[in-house]
Structure 1
Amino acid sequence: MTDPAPTRRAAPSPPPPRELSLAGLAAATYFIVSGGPYGLEEVVRGHGYARTLLLLAVLPLVWSLPVALLVGELGAALPRTGGFYVWVRRGLGPFWGLQEAWLSLAAGAVDNAIYPTLLVGYLGALFPGLGLVPERGLGLGLSLGVVVLCAGWNLAGIRAVGLGAAAAAALMLSPFLALAVLAALAVLRGGAAPVAAALAAPPPAAGPAFSAGLLQAMWNYMGWDNASTFAGEVRAPQRTYPRAMWLSLAAVAAAYLAAVLAGAASGLPAAAWRDGAWVEVARALGGGGLAVAVAAGGAVSAVTMFAALLLSWSRLAEAVAADGWLPAPLARRSPRTHVPTRALSLGAALSALCLGLGLERLIALDVLLYGASLLLELAALVALRLREPALPRPFRVPGGLPGVLALAALPVGLLAYAASGLSAETRVLGLGPFALAAALAAVGPVWYLAGRRRSRRSRVADEGGADEGGATG
């Protein structure tokens, strides 16, 4: 298929060195996807302890595992900067490739704004006297500070982000390890009756809290494909990607389950969970010192997640610019740190514009946009199996084509179920989440048509100049 992208493409930067190891990729993926149990509060409040544990055990199988396997196969087969954009463009053609890029860029800008919002929520729970609100005043200032800090961290290079993510994982998970140990000791001393009572408590009735909790659980398990956008900077990606996906998935699920069990042992009722509830769980089990450590871990998690996702977003924007769909300067890298600095700055600015929308709105919009892009990635996996069966695949989703189709059906079904229960009251600029997501998605076809017209005009101008030169020469 002929690619009708603009003909005057950006001059490619020299290939960046492959600096990210298995440990760095696994740590970056962990923070792209999870960043620890922070953000599970709405899930516990909407579903209760027992159903939350069941949800967190099942979601990796029907939501995360299919995407991790997708990334394992295509990330190893096509390890290019741009990741899933490259897969969809190759499997489905340039039109759908651009739709994938646009949906992912929009979802990424929204998603990135969630983490400064979470940070302000945890600091507000620890210091209620400050009256921190993410949408205004000091809270908004702190959120903007996180954006600037993470942009600066990324400017130091991908290796700095990978090493920092590994160190941050240890710092952030240490308080939750202490929570799990203290919860186990409490059960040994006082018996399992309090935990059993918390698990046996009837879950809340289905309603807005239930739907919001399901969306938030899905959000806590999504983003595996974002780790593919910097594949050109990973050492031995054919071997590294499948291994990193398995390591990260196991770490994410284990941390979630252990932390929620500790929450059940704390005595905090599920109905009392709000943003920052982990601070109350820590205070109940270990006192004020542990509460401070958990809140500090929330700050570390939010900052590192933002940095890792900004890394992914900037490489996607770079790949789209290199194909001529975005301004050429976005494809240029710093000769010293090999960072696409202009793409990075654009991602930070767009995320800053999304601050203040509120956590529930951001998550609802993020899941819808991400879900649409995921459908294209799954379609590309199927298309590449059909169109390029001989493509070298160091890792392959088992089961042949039927296995791939069955794998794709799981997240598609879950996404449809979750979207059907989404509250229309979650409005942004007067639009419900579906209307706003549809309006954003509609930009993609318009962008494509505008690019085709620009491409035709460029070719006509080039041909006219050649004719004129031939006549006068």
Structure 2
Amino acid sequence: MEDTLYSPTPISQQHLLSDHTDDPAPIPNPKPHKKLALLPLIFLIYFEVSGGPYGEESAVGAAGPLFAILGFVIFPFIWSIPEALLTAELATTFPGNGGFVIWANEAFGPFWGSLMGFWKFFSGVINLASYPVLCIDYLKLVIPALSSGLPHYVAIFLSTSVLSFLNYSGLVIVGYTAVALGVISLFPFVLLSLFSLPKIDPSRWVSLGQEKKDWALYFNTIFWNLNFWDNASTLAGEVDQPQKTFPKALLSAGLLTCLAYIIPLLAATGAMPLDQKNWVGGYFADVAGIIAGNWLKYWMEIGAVLSIIGLYEAQLSSAAYQLLGMADLGFIPKIFGERSKWFNTPWMAILVSTVIAMGVSFLTFTEIISTVNFLYSLGMLLEFACFLRLRRKFPTLKRPFEVPLGLFGLVLMCLVPSVLLVYVMSVATKIVYVASAFLTTFGIGLYFFMNLCKSKRWIEFSKVGDKLEEEEDMI
């Protein structure tokens, strides 16, 4: 197959006309650039979702080893697999930058496409804010001056700026950087698992831990560690042969993610006597020090920083290319779709995402996770609805990858994770409800304000958005 660049908006336009053709021809981008191959895409998806076992310790602290193990074994089947299958089908059918924004626009129209975009963007950049903070939290163990005050905030600003510049240098560079970061940050867990083998007592795996369980923390921890499978869809326009590459990448990243969680968890909980209060973020490094020595502890702490860098780069790429897709679709001003002349990256989208992430870095880590989960849950409920709607709206559309189920089976596949989403939203705190309501209202207001700016010609928008609306009216 020819190495053709897919422009998201023309493809979206063609699918609006899919009642007339089942095989829309891709429209080449006049400025070709190097595309993402399979291996870097695998590790970008891996960092979108996971980044390694760092962070799963809180599940043991909240509910004990047995429930933590069951959670990371069962949850991928009821959540990760349905979300990955949905992403594989829709990303290969609509292979353009913007991902889920395109899907919602095709399924329910521009209002819902815009709202989907704002929900996912806000959840992404708020999540992005947590990574430099976590990075400094590890570094302050070596440099105590970074613990608080002006040095702490200067360190966050500098680390955020440096990491964002790496993203500006190009998605292919970011992708291969993710491969290197993934291998280096995972290897200490391989060693931990090997050193733990002689000390494992299987009876420790069935321990229920303390009687009082923190179920809200437990579900939020597992959900946060295993979501965002669909974020890579915003990069579909940058992927080499996305119809073939995306399903393979999602499957490979899924296997890597599940193994990276469950094997170290079994090793650590089986080799260590249970002291549940110790199971908080960063405890894996302490376990490594006890089992193998300080050399592995330090390596794991370095690995944590490298993993955080990978998480940041993957999340920023997704947020930036989502804004690029929204600009191409005419939801936001055209300037957000501008690419750098040197690196062909969306420089304005990267800058805006970085500034917003810096702006919300004052939130606590728990508040960040809860707010991210709530906004993401809203977007995912809409995404499941889009998936089912598009199957009914375009039944004869050519789908390079198709979930092998009829409509009833698809409803069941989406029902279980939807119930889980509602539960995650129901255990949120008041501050999360207030923040999510404010951001949702702000997103709706932005949609109507953007339409006003477009009608008054106050700001320049991509003309594609107008063409889409005209074609929808014709259909």
TM-score, normalisation: structure 2: 0.86
Q: 2:347 aligns with which of 341, 361, 365?
A: 341
What letter corresponds to residue 157 of structure 2 in structure 1? L
Structure 1 residues 189-245: Cα deviation after superposition (integer angstroms, max 9, x where no partner):
xxx2xx523632434423xx3212210110100111110111111111001111111
Aligned to 1:146: 159
Aligned to 2:461: none
% identical equivalent positions: 30
Q: 1:268 to 1:38 in 2, by over 3 A?
A: same
Gap runs ≥5 in structure 1: 1-11, 425-431, 460-473
Structure 1 residue 238 and structure 2 residue 243: aligned?
Answer: yes
What letter corresponds to residue 40 of structure 2 in structure 1? G
What letter corresponds to residue 221 of structure 2 in structure 1? Q
Aligned to 1:468: none
Aligned to 2:209: 202
Q: SS of the residue aligned with 1:415?
A: helix
Aligned to 2:4: none
Aligned to 1:32: 48
Aligned to 1:371: 377
User: 1: distance between equivalents of 2:429 and 2:211?
Assistant: 16
Aligned to 1:159: 172
Instruction: Compute the displacement of 1:286 (Å).
Output: 1.1
Instruction: Compute the displacement of 1:296 (Å).
Output: 0.2
Instruction: Compute the displacement of 1:85 (Å).
Output: 0.7
Structure 1 residue 226 and structure 2 residue 231: aligned?
Answer: yes
Native 8 Å contact 1:154 1:161 kept in 2? yes
Native 8 Å contact 2:51 2:311 kept in 1? yes
Aligned to 2:190: 177
User: 1: distance between equivalents of 2:289 and 2:365?
Assistant: 24
Q: 1:73 aligns with which of 67, 89, 92?
A: 89
Aligned to 2:62: 46
Q: SS of the residue aligned with 1:17?
A: coil
Quote the RMSD (CA, aligned, Å).
Answer: 2.0
Structure 1 residues 252-290: Cα deviation after superposition (integer angstroms, max 9, x where no partner):
111111111122113352222222212211111111110
What letter corresponds to residue 438 of structure 2 in structure 1? A
User: 2: distance between equivalents of 1:167 and 1:51?
Assistant: 32
Aligned to 2:309: 303
User: 1: distance between equivalents of 2:268 and 2:158?
Assistant: 31
Q: 1:321 to 1:145 in 2, by over 3 A?
A: same
Q: 2:424 aligns with which of 396, 414, 418?
A: 418
Native 8 Å contact 2:339 2:347 kept in 1? yes
Native 8 Å contact 2:377 2:425 kept in 1? no
Aligned to 1:293: 299
What letter corresponds to residue 130 of structure 1 in structure 2? P
Q: 1:88 aligns with which of 95, 100, 104?
A: 104
User: 2: distance between equivalents of 1:155 and 1:422?
Assistant: 35
User: 2: distance between equivalents of 1:237 and 1:290?
Assistant: 39
Q: 1:198 to 1:409 in 2, by over 3 A?
A: closer
Native 8 Å contact 1:21 1:235 kept in 2? yes
Structure 1 residue 104 and structure 2 residue 120: aligned?
Answer: yes
Native 8 Å contact 1:238 1:394 kept in 2? yes
Q: 1:130 aligns with which of 126, 135, 144?
A: 144
User: 1: distance between equivalents of 2:257 and 2:133?
Assistant: 21
Native 8 Å contact 1:147 1:348 kept in 2? yes
Q: SS of the residue aligned with 1:113?
A: helix
User: 2: distance between equivalents of 1:140 and 1:346?
Assistant: 19
Q: 1:268 to 1:299 in 2, by over 3 A?
A: farther
What letter corresponds to residue 225 of structure 2 in structure 1? N
Native 8 Å contact 1:77 1:394 kept in 2? yes
Instruction: Compute the displacement of 1:323 (Å).
Output: 2.9
User: 2: distance between equivalents of 1:176 and 1:182?
Assistant: 10
Q: How does 1:321-400 map to 2 (within 5 A)?
A: 321-400=327-406
Instruction: Compute the displacement of 1:47 (Å).
Output: 1.3
What letter corresponds to residue 185 of structure 2 in structure 1? M
Q: 1:130 to 1:205 in 2, by over 3 A?
A: same
Aligned to 1:453: 452
What letter corresponds to residue 397 of structure 2 in structure 1? L
Q: 1:258 aligns with which of 234, 256, 263?
A: 263
Instruction: Compute the displacement of 1:418 (Å).
Output: 2.2
Instruction: Compute the displacement of 1:373 (Å).
Output: 0.9
Instruction: Compute the displacement of 1:298 (Å).
Output: 0.3
User: 2: distance between equivalents of 1:13 and 1:136?
Assistant: 48
Q: SS of the residue aligned with 2:343?
A: coil
Structure 1 residues 32-62: Cα deviation after superposition (integer angstroms, max 9, x where no partner):
1100011112211101111100001111111
User: 2: distance between equivalents of 1:220 and 1:182?
Assistant: 25
Q: SS of the residue aligned with 1:393?
A: coil
Instruction: Compute the displacement of 1:370 (Å).
Output: 0.7
Q: SS of the residue aligned with 1:271?
A: helix
User: 2: distance between equivalents of 1:115 and 1:250?
Assistant: 24
Aligned to 2:437: 438
Native 8 Å contact 1:66 1:410 kept in 2? no
Instruction: Compute the displacement of 1:435 (Å).
Output: 1.7
Q: 1:456 to 1:201 in 2, by over 3 A?
A: closer
Native 8 Å contact 2:72 2:262 kept in 1? yes
User: 2: distance between equivalents of 1:345 and 1:297?
Assistant: 27
Native 8 Å contact 1:198 1:267 kept in 2? no
User: 2: distance between equivalents of 1:88 and 1:70?
Assistant: 13
Q: Which moved more, 1:392-401 or 1:50-59?
A: 392-401
Native 8 Å contact 2:67 2:208 kept in 1? no
Native 8 Å contact 2:204 2:273 kept in 1? no
What letter corresponds to residue 215 of structure 1 in structure 2? N
